[in-house]
């Protein structure tokens, strides 16, 4: 009975780690898209600021938003890598193993 319970616990831990990797991948992709939008907005703001049609405070806000979105994207990437490492640990694989996940949350 204890052996069966241990097997079930391991299966649950692997499933949770697997789904966590998928979740972190989606969050990473969203953070990258947000960073891209912020970069585009910053380029527009720089042009408007250079032409004198954008107040300096709005320009600095756009710069700060761009920096924050890049930081968020970096953190999301780090969380994704950590989730992959956790999955490798649960599967007893070396952490440098390239994982190719085929299941999706949809």
- How far is it, in rounded angstroms, from Cα 37 to Cα 50? 20
Q: Which two tokens stand for residue 60?
A: 């600095």
Mean pLDDT across 10-38: 94
Whether residue 20 contacts residue 99, with contact meaning beta carbons closer than 8 Å, is answered with: no
pLDDT band, residue 103 (cuts 50/70/90): low
Distance CA 46, CA 52 (A): 10
106 pLDDT exceeds 80? no
Q: Per-residue pLDDT averaged across 17-23, rounded?
A: 93
In this prediction, residue 46 carries a pLDDT of: 96
Q: What angle do CA 51, 55, 57 make, to 5 degrees?
A: 135
């Amino acid at each position: 009975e204890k052996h069966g319970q241990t097997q079930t616990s391991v299966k649950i831990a692997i499933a949770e780690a697997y789904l966590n990797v998928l979740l972190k991948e989606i969050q990473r992709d969203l953070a990258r898209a947000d960073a891209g939008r912020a970069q585009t907005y910053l380029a527009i703001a720089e042009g408007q600021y250079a032409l004198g049609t954008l107040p300096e405070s709005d320009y600095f806000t756009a710069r700060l938003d761009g920096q924050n979105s890049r930081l968020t994207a970096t953190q999301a990437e780090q969380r994704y890598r950590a989730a992959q490492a956790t999955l490798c640990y649960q599967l007893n694989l070396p952490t440098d193993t390239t994982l190719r996940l085929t299941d999706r949350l949809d």
